[in-house]
Structure 1
């Protein structure tokens, strides 16, 4: 049995506007745009792709103003590219954000609904990830989170320390999933992003949910009601969804 990271799920007041922002920001296509859900993925993306990650923006009447602990790091290839990307993102509606980062080589921005993300300076490790360098999760214990997520998904653990852990698809494609140790309550920035995991065709969703619970995940209720997906929380309380096989 195995799971893969299939979606970055954003909650939004205006799914169409935020979905189009992220499609334009990443140079992707909008592959679906309904009254409540907008999907954006790499050019030519067809759901479900066995490797590619896409963005799903879901409209909710009043998105909660809590701080989810997930954000995106965007990759650049040169200092000029970084400056050009920051300028273009601001034209699309992004705004500068201060999360206490101080004097750093990356730029912190917020999307039109206040979700913070970073535009990184060029880094060799991210040269082949595509526009998203990493999906970053703040946590108290990167080692423990790495143990859980390494077992939860069929991704490969690349490095782990007391301060940082990094995983990537076993196919060596797309962004990294990273866990960064942070001080609890260090920031109060609003962020409504979570991960959606996808079983492979033929795998059993209920069996995967049971496996995750044996690893330390717990059931979570976010008001989902009777849905085709199952909401769980990882060992540090970060909610994520296990979708039905596509």
Structure 2
């Protein structure tokens, strides 16, 4: 594996507050960094990171988290805990589904799933879900970007399955991307890796350089073939 998935990054008006929400909801610990970022370690080398931005959320996020539950009672308990912490139920067009769609205090959508065997023993987060016009093609690109194997592929969705931790899934949408994503993924080479080499490799697979206002930073901002921004970090 040349690069691996290491962060799910969320733009936030108040990183400390929304980071505390997610840490309490997931039963984890939030760590505040000197630059104002807040990290919540999900395990397996994957972090949920909240970064300060001035821009408000305008549209439905194209990347969201699905939370796992062990039973119908557990699902109800997770929803109740989320609402007590400040989440609210939202309508994104779902009808008659067994999962519950919520938004965190900054409006970031997430789902609390009904019990599913494939997500047992993964921890509180079942999957990182990305809207895609072509789920199969997106899954193939991200398999190369993360080293995760393709576990299932259909016209409507495709999934990458790690040995531990959340799945990375792509769900079909007919709505094109219109603004910069407020939630993006970071990948990084392993120790001794070469970021420039990995950037070139990803560009050969269809990634493009992206300008999101970054200045002199140590990472490289790219967009995938569906224009979802992501960062290639330094080796770690």
* TM-score, normalised relative to structure 2: 0.94
CA distance in 1, matches of 2:33, 2:98: 35
CA distance in 2, matches of 1:29, 1:60: 22
SS at match of 2:49: strand
Where in structure 2 are the equivalents of 1:176-191 lying within 5 Å?
176-184=167-175
The answer to whether 1:137 aligns with 2:130 is yes
CA distance in 2, matches of 1:203, 1:63: 36
Structure 2 portions without partners, runs of 5+: none
The answer to whether 1:9 aligns with 2:16 is no
SS at match of 2:78: helix
The answer to whether 1:58 aligns with 2:51 is yes
Where in structure 2 are the equivalents of 1:77-226 lying within 5 Å?
77-169=70-162, 172-184=163-175, 192-226=182-216
* TM-score, normalised relative to structure 1: 0.90
29-38 or 210-219, larger mean C-alpha shift? 29-38
CA distance in 2, matches of 1:201, 1:31: 24
The CA deviation string for residues 33-60 of structure 1, in whole angstroms up to 9 with x for no partner, is 4452011114xx6xxxxx3311110001
Q: 1:67, CA displacement in angstroms?
A: 4.2
Count of aligned pairs between the two proteins: 235
The answer to whether 1:234 aligns with 2:224 is yes
Aligned residue for 1:74? 67
Aligned-pair Cα RMSD in Å: 1.9
Say if 2:61 and 2:109, in contact at 8 Å, map to a contact too: no
